[in-house]
Amino acid sequence: MDHFIYKNGVLHAEDVSLTEIAASVGTPFYVYSTATLERHFAVFDEALEGLDHKIFYAMKANGNLAVLRTLAAMGAGMDVVSGGEYAKARAAGVPGEHIVFSGVGKTEAEMWQVLNGGIRQFNVESEPELRQLSRVASAMGKVAAITLRVNPDVDAKTHAKIATGKSENKFGIPMAKAREAYKEAASLPGIEVVGIDVHIGSQLTDLEPYRQAFTKVAELTEQLRADGHNIHRLDLGGGLGIPYERSNEAPPLPVEYGQVIKETVGHLGCEIEIEPGRLIAGNAGLLVSEVVYLKHGEGRDFLIIDAAMNDLVRPAMYEAHHDIVPVSEPEAGVEPTPLDIVGPVCESGDTFAKQRAMPPLKAGDLVAFRSAGAYGAVMASEYNARPLIPEVLVKGDQFAVVRARPTYEEMISRDTLPSWMES
């Protein structure tokens, strides 16, 4: 459930009409609903009730400071994957002990940064990373708490570009090598083994791969404990899918996912950590855009809008579906017609939907992309010198720009000329 509904014939974010926001900030823009973010967090938290658990929001999904603040106020920790994300989490007021550091290529500088600033744990992805971390932590006179991310070699049955738990993927340490890696970890200075980490992919719409992966993690926990390691934390990653196509998708509910966790690892007495991103932010955000032209092509009509692949890259990158709805509620009984919905960028890939049934639309009308709160704004670029679009947060009947659209001057001034070109 989200808080984007039609009221008096106009799509609203909570109690604010999208036409009002459009008039104030211009199009295109992203808009997020506080109540939806809070609801998604609460639903996930409740799904894990009965387990000693903590949610580390995967801020790669949506790293806006105001979004981070909203979730941190609910008790969320953060899962970060770069020094930049760590700095942003801290800037949002999240203490180091509520931050876990994931990622396959943590640099020495990033290790130094987060050890210095404070961190709950590193989710280490390889033996070379483990040795590097040991060197950095020892040199600093610190001890780094670690889990090792294991690769359980399960098929997450999701888009190939966002599956991470097969042995051919770059992520984690193969299960077969895990005991050896833990043995090395236990022998290294500056390292304290605290648990196991696993993450098998994103937008999972089937619980079975989770069940398989978590069962393997449970077996490994017992083995490692028998080997003498103090395994007391399990980080189970993120990845639970959301409905993108509301008319025919019903991914598993968080409570069902929670049940799988309880059944597979609940008996181990471990602290459970999870890192959801999309499930918290995805359906808490819309991308709102204005129709520029309706163009009649040969055999098909094109709805040309002012948002493009640089603003929302998911359809171009993953063939992802986003429901697209008119901001003015269509009158009952109006016949939809098929349209290709495209942006203005000079690439055929700048296509959001092909032959999508849409009610009648004309230049100046607004449309909203649903499920755009995760991996939308964060993956945007300024391709075609299109400035990053603003982000707006709504709370009840209030709204605020939480990232402003740069002016052309601001965008241009980030480039600098070398001295030999200056006059």
Question: Of the two residues 38 and 275, which places its CB atom closer to ligand LLP in the complex?
Answer: 275
The helix (run of H) or strand (run of E) holding residue 83 is helix 83-91
CB contact at 8 A, 167 and 174: yes
Question: Of the two residues 257 and 399, which places its CB atom closer to ligand LLP in the complex?
Answer: 257
Q: Quote the least distance from Cβ 356 to ligand LLP, whole Å.
A: 19
Q: Tell me the residue length of the chain.
A: 423
Q: Which of 226, 250, 346, 421 is catalytic?
A: 346
* 346 annotated active-site: yes
Report in angstroms the alpha-carbon separations of 96 from 66, 80, 83, 92: 18, 11, 12, 11
Question: Of the two residues 251 and 390, which places its CB atom closer to ligand LLP in the complex?
Answer: 251
Q: Per the structure block, which two tokens stand in for 162? A: 């966002």
Question: Of the two residues 4 and 375, which places its CB atom closer to ligand LLP in the complex?
Answer: 375
Q: Quote the least distance from Cβ 409 to ligand LLP, whole Å.
A: 31
Tell me the C-alpha distance between 337 and 355, whole Å.
8
Q: Quote the least distance from Cβ 302 to ligand LLP, whole Å.
A: 25
Q: What string of DSSP letters covers 259-304?
A: HHHHHHHGGG-PEEEE--SHHHHGGGEEEEEEEEEEEE-SSSEEEE
Exposure class string for 295-329: b at 16+ Cβ within 10 A, else e: eeeeeeeebbbbbbbbbbbbbbebebbbbbbbbbe
**Exposed (0-12), middle (13-18) or buried (19+): which is 185, by Cβ within 10 Å?**
buried
Q: Quote the least distance from Cβ 206 to ligand LLP, whole Å.
A: 14
**Exposed (0-12), middle (13-18) or buried (19+): which is 103, by Cβ within 10 Å?**
buried
Residue 178: name the closest of 164, 190, 162, 167 by CA.
167
Question: Of the two residues 190 and 237, which places its CB atom closer to ligand LLP in the complex?
Answer: 237
Question: Of the two residues 237 and 285, which places its CB atom closer to ligand LLP in the complex?
Answer: 237
Q: Quote the least distance from Cβ 241 to ligand LLP, whole Å.
A: 7
Q: Quote the least distance from Cβ 395 to ligand LLP, whole Å.
A: 23
At residue 37, what is the residue type?
L
CB contact at 8 A, 174 and 153: yes
Q: Quote the least distance from Cβ 236 to ligand LLP, whole Å.
A: 9
Tell me the C-alpha distance between 10 and 8, whole Å.
6
Tell me the C-alpha distance between 183 and 361, whole Å.
64
Q: Quote the least distance from Cβ 368 to ligand LLP, whole Å.
A: 18
Q: Return the sign of the alpha-carbon dihedral for residues 345, 350, 352, 355.
A: positive
Tell me the C-alpha distance between 19 and 288, whole Å.
10
- Using left for φ > 0, alpha for ψ between -120 and 50, and beta otherwise, residue 17 falls in beta
* Positions that interact with ligand LLP (CB under 6 A): 58, 61, 79, 102, 162, 199, 202-203, 237-239, 275-279, 314, 318, 374-375
Question: Of the two residues 17 and 158, which places its CB atom closer to ligand LLP in the complex?
Answer: 158
Cα 245-246-252 angle, rounded to 5 deg: 95
Question: Of the two residues 319 and 335, which places its CB atom closer to ligand LLP in the complex?
Answer: 319
Tell me the C-alpha distance between 306 and 28, whole Å.
6
Catalytic residues: 346
